[in-house]
Amino acid sequence: MLLAEEIAASEAAKSALSFEGGSAASSTLITFLLGLGIVFIGLIVLILIIKVMGFVMRRAQAKKLQPAPESSPAASETVPEGDRGEIIAAVSAAIATVLGESVSGIRIVSFKKAE
């Protein structure tokens, strides 16, 4: 008896979903318009989310940007000699890695701070 009730309920659900008295072309048109509407609503929601996130990020960036304290140029130009050797070694290793050569094959002639 339960199986018969389930079959009757599924038949009722199928008839409720079908378009009574309409042709196949009208049901296809309704399905097309419904799908198109859902897609455009989804796109509009995505645009709104992106706009809101952009607004939030701009506000957060504005709060983060504060005037940096000025440092004296003399203090930033001086590099202790021990650190200078380490910097040259690190730069040599990076260049050797990029070029695919050994560090002994690279000779650094000049080492200046970029402006």
Q: Per-residue pLDDT tens for 55-110?
A: 999 988 888 776 666 655 554 555 555 577 788 888 888 888 888 888 888 887 77
Helix or strand holding residue 44 (H, E)? helix 24-64
Asked if residue 35 is part of any domain, the answer here is yes
Q: Which of 81, 80, 102 is nearest to 93 (CA)?
A: 102
Asked if residue 110 is part of any domain, the answer here is no
Work out how many domains the chain is built from and give that number.
Answer: 2
Asked if residue 10 is part of any domain, the answer here is no
Asked if residue 72 is part of any domain, the answer here is no
Residues 27 and 59 in one domain: yes
Asked if residue 9 is part of any domain, the answer here is no
Asked if residue 6 is part of any domain, the answer here is no
3-state class of 60 per DSSP?
helix
Q: Residue 95 belongs to what domain range?
A: 80-105
**What pTM was estimated for this model as a whole?**
0.38
